[in-house]
């Protein structure tokens, strides 16, 4: 029983509560860095790192932090880890760090991270908080990968630097410009909504059919 | 001339919302009505200019001379959070009508990425003190412009018959995309 719930702590962030598509949190970095898939991956990994470690720290000291200054303490802890990530990126991946520019430090004000601390880590144990953070990070990674992939394929003919579209395909410049980010995310979310609505309608009609069968069978039974 | 260029570049050509994606959360969250969007824009502009002043001073007077610039993110976010709190208290004390107009938006501004983004851009581009103020002012005007236009469009959208899957956030994002395209028309105006 417990193992199942631990697993759902992880999986809920991946799909059911996906931070981008369902909760619409942290849209600023999502739109800004998804010019290419590799940028999206780097951004998601950096965010997951910060999310994971600040969740662990905050859930382990959640009983010591006074309620009045909790937000300020969360932000300080988050900012510390963001500084660590930024310094590591600058030292190890200078090119990537340059192309992400100010968006790495802006992880500090990413609503996903503060939101998870306030809604989850401040109330739950270390293991659960870590799993929750990893799940949200994975969901964020999936969203950035889809968005970055679409924009890179259509705007640049490549994916992760490898050309996959034929030469005669004219790249859509708009996709790697800011406007393309808004349009792609808008259309993706509309498509997901469409799937959800379709599923709901199907369940509704199935339920209706069942109800009808049950209702029809009653009078027949009575007649017999 | 240089200052005017910085101002217009931040306000129109490289609009903070539509080309740097800073401050998307309030842009989508508070753009339902023109009046509240405009108030949000004004409050943000005010905080942006103050932030430009205070973070520049802290960076150049405290952090740089003592080689503490690795602490800049921690220092900036703390300064911004306390600045917003301070502004809220000050407005409440000085002008009640202004407080009731802007009050509810002020706490939201702390987590607006535009504020921290501005402080980071000023450091990154090595702006001088006056340039920083103009940059902050331009960013604020650009934000106000974008969020007010957006609110105007969304007020009309209330009456439109939108396909069900597009209702809510998706149509807002698509409208924002079209707006961004319109703002791209300014891009040849100034090259920085």
Q: Is the pLDDT of residue A135 over 80?
A: yes
The Cα–Cα gap between A14 and A49 comes to 16
Which pLDDT does position A223 carry in this prediction? 47
Copy the structure tokens of residue B184.
Answer: 């791209």
Q: Is the pLDDT of residue B173 over 50?
A: yes
Which 3 state secondary structure label does DSSP give B22?
A: coil
A114: which DSSP letter? Answer: H
Copy the structure tokens of residue A175.
Answer: 């996709």
Higher pLDDT among residues A219 and B104, named by residue: B104
Would you state the torsion angle of the CA atoms of residues A182, A184, A189, A190, taken in this order, to the nearest 10 degrees?
Answer: 100
Q: Give me the total of CB pairs closer than 8 Å, taking one residue from chain A and one from chain B.
A: 120
Which pLDDT does position A56 carry in this prediction? 92
Copy the structure tokens of residue B121.
Answer: 């851009």
Scanning every residue of chain A, which has its alpha carbon at the shortest distance from the alpha carbon of B109?
Answer: A109
Phi, psi dihedral angles at A163 (to 5 degrees) = -75, 125
Of B10-19, B81-90, B98-107, least confident by mean pLDDT is: B98-107
Q: What are the CA-CA distances from residue B78 to residues A58, A124, A212, B55, B61 (Å)?
A: 18, 26, 62, 10, 16
User: What is the average per-residue pLDDT within A122-135?
Assistant: 87
User: What is the average per-residue pLDDT within B64-78?
Assistant: 86
Q: Is the pLDDT of residue A90 over 80?
A: yes
Compute how many other C-beta atoms are within 10 angstroms of the C-beta atom of residue B99: 17
Interface of chain B toward chain A, CB-CB under 8 angstroms? 18-25, 28, 70-71, 73-74, 77-78, 81, 111-113, 115-117, 120-121, 124, 164-174, 176-178, 180-181, 184
Which pLDDT does position B192 carry in this prediction? 53
Return all residues near A11 (Cβ < 8 A) that are at least 6 apart. A135
Higher pLDDT among residues A162 and B48, named by residue: B48
pLDDT digits over B84-104, tens only? 888 888 878 887 877 776 666
Q: Which of the four pLDDT bands, split at 50, 70 and 90, describes residue A217? A: low
Q: What is the predicted ipTM?
A: 0.81
Q: Domain ranges for chain A, please list them.
A: 2-176
């Amino acid at each position: 029983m417990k193992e199942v719930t631990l697993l759902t702590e992880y999986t809920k962030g991946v799909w059911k509560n996906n931070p981008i598509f369902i909760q619409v949190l942290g849209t600023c970095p999502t739109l800004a860095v998804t010019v290419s898939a590799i940028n999206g991956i780097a951004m998601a990994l950096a965010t997951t790192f910060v999310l994971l470690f600040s969740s662990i720290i905050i859930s382990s000291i959640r009983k010591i932090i006074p309620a009045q200054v909790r937000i300020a303490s969360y932000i300080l802890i988050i900012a510390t880890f963001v500084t660590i990530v930024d310094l590591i990126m600058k030292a190890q991946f200078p090119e990537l760090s340059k192309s992400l520019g100010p968006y790495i430090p802006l992880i500090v004000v990413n609503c996903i991270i503060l939101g998870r601390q306030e809604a989850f880590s401040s109330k739950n144990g270390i293991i659960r908080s870590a799993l929750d953070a990893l799940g949200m990070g994975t969901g964020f990674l999936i969203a950035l990968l889809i968005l970055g992939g679409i924009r890179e394929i259509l705007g640049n003919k490549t994916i992760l630097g490898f050309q996959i579209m034929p030469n005669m395909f004219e790249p859509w410049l708009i996709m790697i410009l800011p406007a393309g980010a808004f349009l792609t995310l808008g259309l993706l979310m509309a498509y997901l909504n469409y799937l959800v609505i379709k599923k709901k309608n199907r369940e509704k009609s199935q339920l209706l059919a069942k109800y009808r069968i049950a209702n029809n069978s009653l009078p027949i039974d009575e007649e017999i | 001339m240089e200052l005017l260029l910085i101002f217009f570049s931040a306000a129109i050509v490289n609009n903070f919302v539509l080309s740097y994606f800073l401050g998307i959360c309030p842009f989508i969250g508070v753009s339902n009505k023109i009046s509240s969007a405009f108030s949000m824009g004004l409050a943000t502009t005010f905080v942006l200019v103050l932030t430009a002043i205070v973070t520049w001073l802290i960076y150049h007077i405290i952090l740089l001379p003592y080689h503490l610039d690795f602490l800049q993110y921690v220092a900036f976010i703390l300064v911004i959070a306390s600045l917003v709190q301070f502004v809220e208290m000050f407005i409440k004390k000085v002008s009640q009508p202004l407080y009731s107009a802007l009050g509810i938006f002020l706490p939201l501004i702390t987590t607006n990425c535009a504020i921290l983004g501005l402080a980071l851009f000023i450091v990154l581009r090595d702006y001088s003190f006056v340039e920083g103020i103009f940059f902050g002012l331009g960013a604020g005007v650009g934000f106000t412009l974008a969020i007010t236009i957006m609110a105007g469009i969304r007020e009309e959208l209330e009456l439109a018959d939108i396909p069900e899957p597009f209702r809510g956030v998706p149509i807002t994002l698509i409208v924002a995309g079209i707006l961004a395209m319109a703002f791209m028309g300014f891009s040849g105006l100034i090259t920085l």
